[in-house]
Structure 1
Amino acid sequence: MTETKRDVFEGLLESYMYSADMVIDEISTDGVADRLNLGNIIASTRDRYAAALPDDLPVIPKSISEYIKNLHKFHRDLVDVFGMVRDLGITRTEPTGVFVWVTHNIDTFARAWLLGVWRVEETGEIVKLEEEK
């Protein structure tokens, strides 16, 4: 069986709800459920989980982080970057600057680009691109 993190979370939440219901039934029926506010807690937890960032964010150097932000600022796309990397390979030109890292870490670069969020290697800071309005 292949599970997502969301599947595991939902299963745990269902188990929690079942256990909480059993405890409430045993305690009493005088408004304990209302005082515990379980429905709102569960809904809030689901919302927080849905909005949370992935656990395994790509980790990239600060220079690459700045490079991605600048590319987005000037409305460049991933094809532009991969095209430049491909051209370096075709012409057998040694990459320089950020292209050294990109060339050797193309999957990590692509994940950071596509997710629009990553962790900066030197600082541990999480960077999230702003969505266009």
Structure 2
Amino acid sequence: MMTETKRDVFDEVRYKFRNFKNEHRHGMYASPDSIDHYLSDALKRYDAAFPDDLPVIPKTVGDILRSAHGQTNLLGVLDTAKNGYKISETLAWIIANQNTFALAWGLGIWCVEETGEIVKLEAEK
């Protein structure tokens, strides 16, 4: 699964163009066609990349979101959390970070606090 963010794509394009500039100084030449092709590919990757500002949540909270996947309202998700998870730390985190929790649920994508892994819930088929 791709876990590239928009910033990752931007940073690579910036690096690549810095190299084009250095190559040109040393007598090497990149054709306009090769640059256009590279930019077209980079734009597609940028469009497909994840946002930079993903919600960051603990793994246990992500487990709740995974178990509630497919529910269509936030109250149902919170009910799943309340009934299915008696871990007070996790519920306390959700209460203290309601907006982040709701954003992760709404987007269906988040970054795991402990590992930095990006998790994306896939649409049900």
> TM class, shorter-chain normalised?
0.5 to 0.7
Tell me which residue corresponds to 1:68. Answer: 65
TM-score by structure 2 length?
0.63
Could you say what the CA RMSD is over the residues aligned between the two structures, in angstroms? 3.3
How far apart, CA to CA, are the structure 1 residues paired with 2:105 and 2:42?
A: 28
How far apart, CA to CA, are the structure 1 residues paired with 2:124 and 2:37?
A: 32
Tell me which residue corresponds to 1:92. Answer: none
Residue 116 of structure 2 is aligned to residue 132 of structure 1: no
Tell me which residue corresponds to 1:58. Answer: 55
Structure 1 portions without partners, runs of 5+: 24-31, 85-94
Offset of residue 97 of structure 1: 5.6
Q: Deviations over 1:76-110 (max 9, x none)?
A: 2323135x4xxxxxxxxxx9463322111110001
The one of 77, 94, 97 equivalent to 1:105 is: 97
TM-score by structure 1 length?
0.59
Tell me which residue corresponds to 1:49. Answer: 46
Q: SS in structure 1 opposite 2:103? A: helix
Q: SS in structure 2 opposite 1:56? A: coil
Q: Is the Cα contact below 8 Å between 2:65 and 2:77 reproduced in 1?
A: no
Q: SS in structure 2 opposite 1:101? A: helix
Inter-CA distance 79–43: structure 2 relative to 1 (3 Å threshold): same
Offset of residue 131 of structure 1: 1.7
How far apart, CA to CA, are the structure 1 residues paired with 2:92 and 2:76?
A: 16
Tell me which residue corresponds to 1:89. Answer: none
- In the comparison of the two structures, how many residue pairs are matched? 98
Offset of residue 41 of structure 1: 1.1
Offset of residue 67 of structure 1: 0.5
| Identity %, equivalent residues | 45
Offset of residue 42 of structure 1: 1.4
Q: SS in structure 1 opposite 2:50? A: coil
